[in-house]
Structure 1
Amino acid sequence: MNALRRLFAPVLLLALLATLVAAKPWLHGHLEPFVGPMLSGAFDIAVASAAWLVAAWAGAGLIALLAAGKGGLNPDGTPRPPRIPRLLADLLRFFVYGAAVLAILAFVFEQPVTGLLATSGVAIAVLGFALRNMIADIFAGIALNIENPYRLGDWLELSPGVTGRVDEINWRATRLIASDGTAIVVPNGIVAGSRFVNYSRPNPAFRSGVPILLDQEVPVERAKRILLSAMLCADGVLSNPRPDVLVDAVTPNGISYLARFWTDDGARLSQVRDAVLTAALANLGRAGIEPASPKQDIRRRQPVLHDTERLRRGLLRRPEMFDAFDDEEVEALAQAMHRVDIPAGGAAVREGDAGDSLFVIAEGVFDVEVSVSAADGADGGFRTGPMHVTRLRPGDLFGEMSLLTGQPRSASVIACTDAVVFELARSHLDPILRRRPELAEKLAELMAERQTRNAAQRHRQQGAAPPAPVESQALLARLRGFFGL
């Protein structure tokens, strides 16, 4: 609407000047007796020249109207691009005014323009040789705007370490804003003549990866399972498309894995890489695995074992549930636990099933789901379906209420990846509680706090008010009854 208002003035003025040009005989007849033939001819020249210039003004306004964007944002949050790229619109306006000047010379002053063009061609050639690099950048910018390989707001990687969001595309250069806020100005000729990566096209989600080198003694499937579970828990990594792990190379120092993930925010790519590597190192550390080091390093390394006593003890020491147990008791429980392998998509436990054991996650990632009922508007009945509650990662435990009270499983726990868990049964815990009954009170308090947190999280997801806290005394009574204390 504003562009149409700006176009109104030149069109109105052009109509007035066109009327004066059309009425030139009548004007000559009335002006020449008063001002003389010289001033009357000068007036004709001024009116005709002004008409051509105003026509060029109107043409430039029309180009601006066609080039104006629709305004607003695209569905992905990026600003909508203009209909005609800015550089192309500037070039069209330049030609419109240039054509108006030539028309004035040819039709108003009746001067031959072919000689002028030939003479100016020599000057242009000399000037072009002196400014060849700048001219190359200008024409590269025009080509980039016509092909439109990137737009304002896109994230580009021009070379390793040179990444930023496109902030401006002008006649000579493209300006990027890096994730640290600094501006990177790159001549258009360099951009057009080199390979670059557009992370924002064809869609905002793009894939990146981090290399991780592990010893050859680590089984490949186990390494992939640990690294995949780390990416699924890292902040900023999209769950769909699903991340994956590839064997990138086999080197004298170990096996190089490429942990590939998808993200949709180029501004946070460094933070997402950091989250992936941090989670990977944490998962490897819990599994007793260290990144590979050069073989020239002669320091003694701990042997990489698939199932060690230290790993079992570490898994039991991580949850707060076993804080009240002494080292001897933790050692006894670690020895009693047995390993369970669960394939991706398999259920460790199902909601409603009977059980008297808990599980500690050694490797892999699990989703916790509960069944919910909701009114069905079609027939007034009810429909049921799973609701995602939380995601569990290595070191977390689940099933503790069934272990301590014998109640049915309150949720389904589904493996997102191939996983390894260790199961601790009631028969393993019973001798310790009989020997130290005071542990039951501590366990009841911890379980009451845990149940209160889980219930509050579930109610937040459903948009309901927070529930009342779980009473530890009620849990303690059930625990003592279940174990016969």
Structure 2
Amino acid sequence: MNAVRRLLAPLALLALLAAAVLHRPWLHARLEPLGGPAVSNGFDMAVAAAAWLAFAWAGSRALDLLATGNGRANGRPGGRPPPIPRLLSDLLRALLYVAALVAILAFVLEQPVTGLLATSGVMIAVLGFALRNMIADIFSGIALNIEHPYRIGDWIELAPGVSGRVDEINWRATRLITADGAALIVPNGIVAGSRFVNFSRPEPRFRAAIPILLDHDVPAARAKRVLLSALLCADGVLATPRPDVVIDSFSPNGVGYQARFWLDDYERLSAVRDAVATVILEHLGRAGIELARPKQELRTHRPAKPVPGALRRSLLRQLDLFAAFDEAEVAELGQAMRRHHIPAGGVAVRQGEAGESLFVIAEGVFDVTLDQGRHAVHLDRLRPGDLFGEMSLLTGQPRSASVVACTDAVVFELDKGHLDPVLRRRPELARQLAELMANRQLHNDAERDRLGRDGAGQSLAASQDLLARLRGFFKL
């Protein structure tokens, strides 16, 4: 409907001029007595000139409708490209009006236009040489609008570190808005003549990577396990396609890894890269792995050899469950813990099975699932430093959920036989363990059923109940 309205005015004018041509004898009969043949001939020339201009006007409106896609905004994200690019339609409109003026001179005013065209050709050549860079930008803009390698709203990278969101494509240049909010004006000739990357096409999802250099003495399988677990725990990283870790290079300084991940919006790239890098450093620190150092670095002392059981003691010390234990007790428990390697997809504990131990995650990522008959419900994702199975260790109750490894993982197991001597020496630890576990159980229950609870009363009741069960299980 809007398209028809825009064509009404030029079509109405053409119809009026056509009616004037059809009724020329009648109009001449009325005009000649008033002004003579001069007025009559002037009327014919005016009608002819107006007809040429009206034709150019109608053609211009038709091109405008094609350029805007019958009312759709050019370059709107997700919209279809218009049949004729906007820049090309502007050029064609200008050519239509120039042709109409030449036709008026040649056919209405009966003036020779050969000399005018020759003179115009010379002037155009001179201007073209003087404005060759601008003209190249204009025709590059037309080519870009025809091919549509990018559109308004797309994120493109012209060179490493030079990227932005396309805000406008005009006759001469493309305007980008960088991630810092600054406007970047790039001539179309530079864009068309260089290689650039469009992160929004064919779909907004794309892959990014962070390089990490580790020492040669870190086994590749362990390095990949730790880095992959970090990627799975980072905010903003898409679960599908799955992130991965590959070896990228070797050098005297170490082994280069690429931690590759997918995200769905280039505007969030900096934030997601920051989250990934932060989690990678956290997981490497928990695993006791340092980034590689330049081998030309001169060390004044030999690095200390790792103390046996240091990783196990540090894992236990950072857990609230063992906050009341002294250093000797933590060292005793850490020395007694058993190391287990669980492959990706392996089940560490299964819902409903009997158990008398807990597990502390050293490397890898686990999913906690609850079997509800026909399907399993995902409850939580555990990462290095987390523990599971503590209720079975303290009370002997069956496993309340299944814990499945998302990646190759390493865990340390602490069972009842390891904790029993410590509790017999210090029975007061039982009460503190019961209080901590009561609060933890209330939190887990609230997460599962999303129901409000009266925390204080229930925590006290649960603490007393757990304490009684703990004393009975350990025969204190």
- Shorter-chain TM range is over 0.9
Distance 1:295 1:437 in 2: 52
Map 1:259-338 → 2, pairs under 5 A: 259-299=259-299, 300=301, 302=303, 308-338=308-338
**CA-to-partner distance for each residue in 1:295-350, whole Å, 9 max, x for gaps?**
12123474686x95221111112221111111111111111111111111111112
Match of 1:475 among 462, 466, 469: 466
Match of 1:452 among 428, 432, 442: 442
Q: Does 1:439 align with 2:438?
A: no
**CA-to-partner distance for each residue in 1:185-239, whole Å, 9 max, x for gaps?**
1111111111111111111100111111111111111111111111111111111
Aligned residue type for 1:408 = P
Structure 1 residue 467 displacement after superposition: 5.3
Asked whether the equivalents of residues 49 and 104 of structure 1 are also in contact (C-alpha less than 8 Å), the reply is yes
Q: Give the unaligned 5+ runs of structure 1.
A: 374-383
Distance 1:338 1:72 in 2: 67
Aligned residue type for 2:371 = S
Asked whether the equivalents of residues 361 and 421 of structure 1 are also in contact (C-alpha less than 8 Å), the reply is yes
Distance 2:77 2:69 in 1: 13
> 1:388 aligns to what SS in structure 2?
strand
Distance 1:233 1:196 in 2: 32
Aligned residue type for 1:39 = V
Distance 2:69 2:334 in 1: 66
Asked whether the equivalents of residues 339 and 413 of structure 2 are also in contact (C-alpha less than 8 Å), the reply is yes
Structure 1 residue 3 displacement after superposition: 4.2
**CA-to-partner distance for each residue in 1:20-78, whole Å, 9 max, x for gaps?**
233333322221221222233222222222222222222222222223258899xxx94
Map 1:69-148 → 2, pairs under 5 A: 69=69, 78-83=77-82, 84-148=84-148
Match of 1:430 among 398, 415, 420: 420
**What's 1:252 paired with?**
252
**CA-to-partner distance for each residue in 1:155-184, whole Å, 9 max, x for gaps?**
111101111111111111111111111111
How many corresponding residue pairs?
467
Distance 1:4 1:390 in 2: 59
Q: Give the unaligned 5+ runs of structure 2.
A: none
Distance 1:72 1:370 in 2: 50
Cα 1:20/1:303, change in 2 over 3 Å: farther
**CA-to-partner distance for each residue in 1:127-158, whole Å, 9 max, x for gaps?**
01111111111111111111111111111111
Q: Does 1:392 align with 2:390?
A: no
Map 1:351-370 → 2, pairs under 5 A: 351-370=351-370
Distance 1:138 1:397 in 2: 64
> 1:391 aligns to what SS in structure 2?
strand
**CA-to-partner distance for each residue in 1:418-464, whole Å, 9 max, x for gaps?**
1111111111111112222222222222222222222323334xxxx
**CA-to-partner distance for each residue in 1:268-306, whole Å, 9 max, x for gaps?**
11111111111111111111111111112123474686x
The answer to which of 242-251 and 104-113 deviates more is 104-113
Q: Does 1:56 align with 2:34?
A: no
Q: What is the RMSD of the two structures over their aligned residues, measured on CA atoms?
A: 2.2
Q: Does 1:185 align with 2:191?
A: no
Distance 1:342 1:43 in 2: 97
**What's 1:227 paired with?**
227
Cα 1:481/1:185, change in 2 over 3 Å: same
Asked whether the equivalents of residues 3 and 71 of structure 2 are also in contact (C-alpha less than 8 Å), the reply is no
Asked whether the equivalents of residues 179 and 268 of structure 1 are also in contact (C-alpha less than 8 Å), the reply is no
**What's 1:379 paired with?**
none
Distance 2:63 2:233 in 1: 51
Distance 1:165 1:51 in 2: 45
**CA-to-partner distance for each residue in 1:352-373, whole Å, 9 max, x for gaps?**
2221111111111111111236
Cα 1:282/1:49, change in 2 over 3 Å: same
Cα 1:484/1:14, change in 2 over 3 Å: farther
Asked whether the equivalents of residues 106 and 113 of structure 2 are also in contact (C-alpha less than 8 Å), the reply is yes
Q: Does 1:413 align with 2:403?
A: yes
**What's 2:14 paired with?**
14
Distance 2:304 2:235 in 1: 32
Identity, in percent, stands at: 68
Aligned residue type for 1:483 = F
Distance 2:327 2:66 in 1: 77
Distance 1:277 1:285 in 2: 12
Asked whether the equivalents of residues 153 and 165 of structure 1 are also in contact (C-alpha less than 8 Å), the reply is yes
> 1:241 aligns to what SS in structure 2?
coil
Structure 1 residue 399 displacement after superposition: 1.3
Cα 1:370/1:98, change in 2 over 3 Å: farther
Asked whether the equivalents of residues 345 and 405 of structure 2 are also in contact (C-alpha less than 8 Å), the reply is yes
**What's 1:340 paired with?**
340
**What's 1:43 paired with?**
43
The answer to which of 18-27 and 214-223 deviates more is 18-27
Distance 1:200 1:172 in 2: 23
Cα 1:203/1:293, change in 2 over 3 Å: same
Distance 1:134 1:405 in 2: 81
Cα 1:441/1:25, change in 2 over 3 Å: farther
Distance 1:110 1:139 in 2: 34
Cα 1:160/1:431, change in 2 over 3 Å: same
